[in-house]
């Protein structure tokens, strides 16, 4: 299985699937799954390719989810090898997607192949949900598949997302949830004028200063046993014409919440508006949210993954909800138990992205044991 996983990973890395391009990855993966009895279904939108494939009709349904798209490479001359020509050096596989997350996809497939060979009449069902729109704006990928499945009443019982979650060694971290992300685009209105005649103008920078201080100092919630407290951060702020003698007419502010299950979208929006209004500002505010937080408490799936990790690696894993967003936020709408587990994440999105071959050998064994723990028991 180790050689098969390495070879499939190399084939996937060699495809230049910079988001939202798939570059034939789904064809390659589907060709491996169809002979195992999977029914393949393409659910595409606006040029984005998605694959939903299922084997079996009975519950429980165990799904493996991931993405074929990768982030851009950055300067090619900073790479030790062509990022789309996978190369093994000193026991390490290099290439764009080596950690995030083409090796997880390869490990999913070879784990399923091994499991089906050992348990051809296994109880329950197995599915995969693969997309080419996770690293980009993520509006035509997993969310489209989830919508299609929800519309026809098809639900999952367990889902493992192959995001790179580990910190120091394979198996040390499972993500059992993620914080939500809520962004605001604020325009504070003033009156442009000459700096020598401030009485004829109204400076939005000055007027916003007290509100900014209050927003930055506000404690939005206390967090809970799984999540740290919600945070609010300004990501960009600008005003002015570029001239040194002009009072600006508008101030533009971009900010973001990373919020826990201790807050809601509605509560955060209401509190922000309350602060702005209390400071008597004239403003326009547009909201964009990238996903609500999701959480899988310890239970069948967390237990199955933890036992699989320990049986293969000897590592006692820990739960974490840190990091950015993932497609788990969409899947949680139709699946009560969603976790993320994949290889170490130290090199993701970096030049010379890589994975240790020892990790690549153990990863499919863990995924296979998860299936055993959930379906065979």
Cβ neighbours of residue 316 closer than 8 Å, sequence gap 6 or more: 306, 310
Rg for the chain, CA atoms, rounded: 24
Q: Quick one: which H or E segment has residue 332? A: none
| Residue 361 annotated as catalytic | no
Q: Exposed/middle/buried for 361, CB within 10 Å: 0-12, 13-18, 19+?
A: middle
The conformation of residue 296, written as its DSSP 8-state character, comes to -
Q: What is the DSSP string of 168-226?
A: SSTTSEEE-EE-EEEEEEEEEE-B-EETT-GGGSB-HHHHHHHHHHHHHH-------SS
d(CA 369, CA 377): 10
d(CA 245, CA 238): 16
Q: Which two tokens stand for residue 141?
A: 């990928």
| Residue 69 annotated as catalytic | yes
Q: Kindly report the length of the chain.
A: 377
Q: Exposed/middle/buried for 377, CB within 10 Å: 0-12, 13-18, 19+?
A: exposed
In the set 69, 133, 140, 359, the catalytic residue is: 69
The conformation of residue 230, written as its DSSP 8-state character, comes to P
d(CA 14, CA 23): 9
C-alpha to C-alpha distances, 332 to 85, 159, 160, 325, nearest whole angstrom: 35, 9, 11, 13
In the set 22, 100, 113, 134, the catalytic residue is: 134
Partners of residue 160 on adjacent β-strands: 64, 339
Q: Quick one: which H or E segment has residue 233? A: strand 231-239
Q: Can you count the helices (H) and strands (E) in the chain?
A: 9, 19
Helix segments in the chain, DSSP class H: 2-13, 25-33, 102-118, 142-151, 204-217, 265-278, 300-313, 328-331, 357-371
Active site residues: 69, 134
């Amino acid at each position: 299985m180790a050689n098969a996983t390495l070879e499939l990973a190399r084939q996937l890395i060699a495809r230049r699937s910079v988001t939202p391009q798939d570059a034939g990855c789904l064809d390659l993966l589907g060709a491996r799954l169809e002979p195992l009895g999977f029914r393949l279904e393409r659910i595409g939108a606006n040029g984005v390719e998605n694959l939903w494939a299922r084997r079996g009709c009975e519950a429980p349904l165990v799904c493996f989810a991931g993405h074929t798209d990768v982030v851009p490479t950055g300067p090619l001359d900073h790479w030790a090898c062509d990022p789309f020509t996978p190369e093994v050096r000193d026991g390490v596989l290099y290439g764009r997607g080596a950690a995030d997350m083409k090796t997880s996809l390869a490990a999913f497939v070879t784990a399923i192949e091994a499991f089906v060979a050992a348990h051809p009449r296994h109880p329950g069902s197995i599915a995969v949900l693969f997309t080419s729109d996770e690293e980009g704006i993520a509006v035509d990928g997993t969310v489209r598949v989830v919508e299609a499945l929800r519309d026809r009443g098809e639900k999952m019982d367990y889902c493992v997302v192959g995001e790179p979650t580990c910190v120091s060694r394979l198996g040390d971290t499972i993500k059992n949830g993620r914080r939500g992300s809520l962004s605001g685009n604020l325009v504070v209105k003033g009156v442009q004028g000459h700096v020598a005649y401030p009485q004829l103008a109204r400076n939005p920078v000055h007027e916003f200063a007290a509100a900014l201080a209050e927003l930055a100092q506000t404690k939005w919630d206390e967090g809970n046993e799984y999540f740290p407290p919600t945070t609010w951060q300004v990501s960009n702020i600008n005003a002015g014409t570029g001239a040194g003698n002009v009072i600006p007419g508008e101030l533009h502010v971009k900010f973001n919440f990373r919020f826990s299950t201790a807050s809601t979208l509605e509560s955060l929006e209401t509190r922000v508006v309350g602060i702005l209004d209390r400071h008597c500002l004239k403003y326009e505010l547009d909201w964009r949210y990238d996903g609500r937080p999701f959480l899988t408490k310890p239970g069948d799936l967390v237990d199955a993954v933890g036992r699989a990790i320990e049986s293969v690696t000897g590592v006692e894993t820990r739960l974490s909800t840190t990091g950015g967003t993932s497609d788990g936020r969409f899947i949680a709408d139709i699946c009560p138990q969603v976790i993320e587990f994949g290889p170490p994440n130290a090199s993701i999105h970096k030049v010379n992205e890589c994975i240790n071959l020892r990790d690549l050998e153990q990863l499919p064994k863990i995924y296979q044991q998860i299936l055993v723990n959930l379906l065979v028991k």
